[in-house]
Amino acid sequence: MTVEQPLLDRFKALGGDPEVLRPAVAVAPEYLEAALDEMYKTFGSIEGYFSEGLGLDEAAQQSLRSAFVEGA
């Protein structure tokens, strides 16, 4: 079961067509790849995106690493 499946099931139960909603809630690998490509093109790295794009200082970046990266 995908992450979005419960939402799609509920939408269908309420009379909606899940295929209409799917593009708005699903994660397509090609969309993620395009986003990452653009990030690297614009900012050079994930760290560049965090600092330049999001305005996060090193302390904030380290906090995110600690929270979301195993072994960080």
Residue 69 clears pLDDT 90, i.e. is over it: yes
Contact 21, 8 (CB under 8 A): yes
Report the mean per-residue pLDDT for the chain: 92
Averaged pLDDT for residues 10-18: 95
pLDDT of 72 reads 61
Residue 6 clears pLDDT 80, i.e. is over it: yes
Give dist(CA 34, CA 57) in Å, integer.
26
Domains in the chain, number:
1
pLDDT of 11 reads 93
Q: Which domain holds residue 52?
A: 5-68
Give dist(CA 35, CA 18) in Å, integer.
25
Higher model confidence: residue 44 or residue 72? 44
